[in-house]
Structure 1
Amino acid sequence: MPKSEAGATRRILLVEDHPVERAYLQNMLLALGYRRVAGLGSSIEAVGALTRQYYDVLISDIVMGEGDGTRLPNDLRRLVDAGRLKSMPPIIWISSLSEELLQSHVRLALQAGCPSAQALAKPVSRGAMQQAIKVALHSMDGDTASPHQPKAVRRDLMEAALGQALVSGKGLSVVLQPQISLSTGRVVAAEALSRWTHQDWGAVPPADFVPAAHRLGLDRMLFSRVTDSVLDVLSQMQSEDIAVPIAINASASTLCSRDLPGMLEQRVGQAGLPARLLKVELTEDEPVTDWLALSSTLNLLRVRGFELAMDDFGAGIASMRLFSAMPFTELKIDRDFILHMHREAASRAVVAAAIEMGRVLGRRVVAEGVEQERDVQLLRELGCDVAQGYGISVPLDPAAFIAFCRSR
């Protein structure tokens, strides 16, 4: 049971259209020590309430008469993007729907940007509710943060500070997540992930500052900063006789720049490195608006010796068209399918199909989001040999990454 003072300060928004069930859940939350619980009967009311008041946790039914709960995550995402909501709260779904549909709604909320999402089957037990709220609160502010304040920084302030950081390079860095061969255990590649630490706010999540760079039209500048850092790491590794390709994430708009292939070739040449050590990884965080420009750039990069990876394969509706039309050398299976492949036949089928397609086309296949030993075992059975994820290694700073490569 939460400490009385903590329960008294947390704000919980409960959305349930059935008045009897709503009253039952409100009494349960009260018994658990949560004193500030607002009960509403529709997602429409919930959206309005969240624009007026910050809530630590959102608990919502899914199927409701007025305003379907399914729309909540996307409605809240739009409010955040419009600057009307500081941050999205964690969501706890409550419903009598099947487990498959519950987990589908969990993924929906996470994809929209909720810091955490869980699903509880009705009837909800007191113990399950207590644990779910504990997980939700931890995802927002841990055990020591203020219960009143969301972690999100005002968007206008963050964007101004980000612009300054990208110009100066101050506070920007990269970490590297290893990719290993599941058959040999050796490090075969890595993905560079950008990080930004502000002097007052601390570490700003990439989920916040990367989209901000796109809104500001600074994708290319961020890509350039990460490229500089990666080339420094590759040069150091070459001096130690370690040759491991490193991938840099790039949006479609960045890759539509006509001068990008020449710029990368020049910078790799100046560093005395072969082009094959620098991999360009296309992300699906924005739609492709100019297929001809993208195809032209990707083909030029391949001609000049760079390898190309397609990130989050299967997550976007354009995945198949992109992969079949563009000269990728690698596809990365979206982590969501890896996470659910053990209990969802559909996810497992997608993983198996992606691995087989890579084999037939002669492309390398990388499984993302590998977190458990059972993931490794199943991927081996399905024929996938390269993986990355927290079950293999957390993202490492350059020195730790080089040491990790030496140990392998």
Structure 2
Amino acid sequence: MSCQYTHEAIVKLKNSPLTLTPPPRVNLVVLSHDEQYVLRMTERLNGSGLFHIEHVESLSRLRLRKQPMDIVMAEIHADHVDSLMLPCWVGELNAYGRVRRAPHIVWTIKACALDDATSSAAAIEQGRTDIVKGISSIALASYARLARASGIRVEIVAENHPTQLLQVLEKLATAEHLLPQLSQSDRFELLISEDEVVSVITSGENLRVVLQPQYNLASRQVIGAEALIRWQHPIHGDIPPLILIPMVDQLGLGLLLFSHVERAVIEVLGTLDRLGIDIPIAINASARTLCATGLATRLAIKMHKAGLPARRLKIELTEQITPGNELVLSASIMALRAKGFLISLGDFGAGAATLALLTHIPFDEMKVDGKLAGIAEQSPQSSEIISGIVNLARYFNLNLVTAGIEDPSSIEMLNRLGCSAGQGLALAPPLEQADFLRLVAR
């Protein structure tokens, strides 16, 4: 009976018209307000039959699209800023999970800088051309590398080389897409409530202070430390400071947290004093915390009771909150320095830290943002920036500390550029207090 059924099925299939399902076409969106550019791209790609091509005039309209997109193509041009903003938009889609999959990006250029169109895109990637449609090729290549490092697929193609353009697009048609995902920060923000933050800061329960050693980069001797807060949540584990600190500042709990860290640091400084070790420990504080009434006097009294000189407690101005009144901040910092405390300007090169702060407010130290340390070896421009910061620190007679050193190979280079002090995972991770004391005691 099964044989009869199979025979009947075969006969039925032979008598039916044979239809083959065509492969799904790739959704390609051309982003441009130049109708001639859209027409050229459409004519060159229609023949392949692989793409379903649509046209959008601006990034704002692209943001409103609900249909899926596989590839977005745009011309690199100084008058077409939307094309340069595409990686930012794709990163935003990925971060907030607004699409099932983030589209690839293709930037097209006219190969006018070089005679050989095939090598033009490669020349831009390597920064070997000067200007591309009013945009620095070095800056464009750096921007493309940064986008790729964050997981966004970006390709630069010579427009007037149709074969190369089609090859790149066909390759992207089968390439994997960046899938939307919530970052660790986004997940924690959904899990942690404000009530929990208020409770843990007021009680101090499950909070602990760890210490990240700071080293002389030449001798590898410990010359100080930075105190960092850690919150061990009973359900979610360690909560990153990038989540906790902004919530603390938003809830106005910065001074309370500072007091908790301050008590732990003074205890550690007392132990170091009994061991005969004279190194400072830094505590992070927002501008709002530094401007708290009576802070300098209160800290001086506590250090005096502990039998410690004020200079062993360093206060690092962080950049989470900018002060509403720079005059008040300047007065508060001067009061702290008058009591003998050291003041550091943290994360220089990021946030609101500017030359104006250095010129208007007296500091003892400047800390270079960790991102600059991370890219110092990637390009000559990065090294020149760090050298400039070193000279700036010398001009203002400031101690300079490089934060975020994660690559051991960059330690010697930073020291050669004049950054004599630093901290980071390449030197030592943040240590529990007992481990830190054992380290410096050795």
Alpha-carbon spacing, 1:222–1:86, altered in 2? closer, same or farther (3 Å): farther
Alpha-carbon spacing, 1:398–1:49, altered in 2? closer, same or farther (3 Å): farther
CA RMSD across the alignment: 4.3
Aligned counterparts, 1:147-226, within 5 A? 151-154=187-190, 157-226=192-261
The corresponding residue for 1:341 is 376
2:262 and 2:389 mapped to 1: Cα distance?
Answer: 29
Q: How many residues align?
A: 346
Tell me how far 1:120 sits from its aligned partner: 3.9
1:395 and 1:343 mapped to 2: Cα distance?
Answer: 26
The corresponding residue for 2:316 is 281
Alpha carbons 1:175, 1:192 under 8 Å: kept: yes
Alpha carbons 1:86, 1:154 under 8 Å: kept: no
The corresponding residue for 2:150 is 117
Q: State which of 232, 245, 264 in structure 1 corresponds to 2:267.
A: 232
In structure 2, the residue corresponding to 1:327 is in which secondary structure? Answer: coil
Counterpart of 1:69, as a letter, is L
The corresponding residue for 1:385 is 420
2:250 and 2:311 mapped to 1: Cα distance?
Answer: 31
Counterpart of 1:194, as a letter, is I
Alpha carbons 1:333, 1:367 under 8 Å: kept: yes
1:49 and 1:272 mapped to 2: Cα distance?
Answer: 66
Alpha carbons 1:173, 1:194 under 8 Å: kept: yes
2:379 and 2:152 mapped to 1: Cα distance?
Answer: 16
Q: Is it true that 1:294 corresponds to 2:318 in the alignment?
A: no
Alpha-carbon spacing, 1:320–1:403, altered in 2? closer, same or farther (3 Å): same
Alpha-carbon spacing, 1:186–1:92, altered in 2? closer, same or farther (3 Å): farther
Alpha carbons 1:91, 1:117 under 8 Å: kept: no
Structure 1 or 2, whichever has the larger Rg, is 2
Alpha-carbon spacing, 1:259–1:49, altered in 2? closer, same or farther (3 Å): farther
The corresponding residue for 1:69 is 86
1:393 and 1:92 mapped to 2: Cα distance?
Answer: 39
2:247 and 2:140 mapped to 1: Cα distance?
Answer: 32
Tell me how far 1:67 sits from its aligned partner: 11
Alpha carbons 1:95, 1:102 under 8 Å: kept: no
Which deviations, in whole Å up to 9, do the C-alpha atoms of 1:305-333 show, x marking residues without a partner?
A: 10011111122354211122211111011
Alpha carbons 2:101, 2:178 under 8 Å: kept: no
Tell me how far 1:347 sits from its aligned partner: 2.2
Tell me how far 1:392 sits from its aligned partner: 0.7
2:407 and 2:267 mapped to 1: Cα distance?
Answer: 32
State which drifts further: 393-402 or 66-75: 66-75
Counterpart of 1:152, as a letter, is F
Alpha-carbon spacing, 1:86–1:94, altered in 2? closer, same or farther (3 Å): closer
Which deviations, in whole Å up to 9, do the C-alpha atoms of 1:17-56 show, x marking residues without a partner?
A: 4599xxxxxxxxxxxxxxxxxxxx8976897899xxxxxx
1:311 and 1:405 mapped to 2: Cα distance?
Answer: 24
Counterpart of 2:187, as a letter, is K
TM-score normalised by length of structure 2? 0.66
Tell me how far 1:372 sits from its aligned partner: 1.8
Alpha carbons 1:91, 1:118 under 8 Å: kept: no
Which deviations, in whole Å up to 9, do the C-alpha atoms of 1:106-165 show, x marking residues without a partner?
A: 8799xxxxxx93454425978x977x969x97x957xxxxxxx9732437x521101000
2:378 and 2:255 mapped to 1: Cα distance?
Answer: 40
The corresponding residue for 2:129 is none
Tell me how far 1:242 sits from its aligned partner: 2.1
Alpha carbons 1:90, 1:117 under 8 Å: kept: no
1:204 and 1:253 mapped to 2: Cα distance?
Answer: 23
Alpha-carbon spacing, 1:61–1:273, altered in 2? closer, same or farther (3 Å): farther
1:299 and 1:168 mapped to 2: Cα distance?
Answer: 32
State which drifts further: 315-324 or 249-258: 315-324
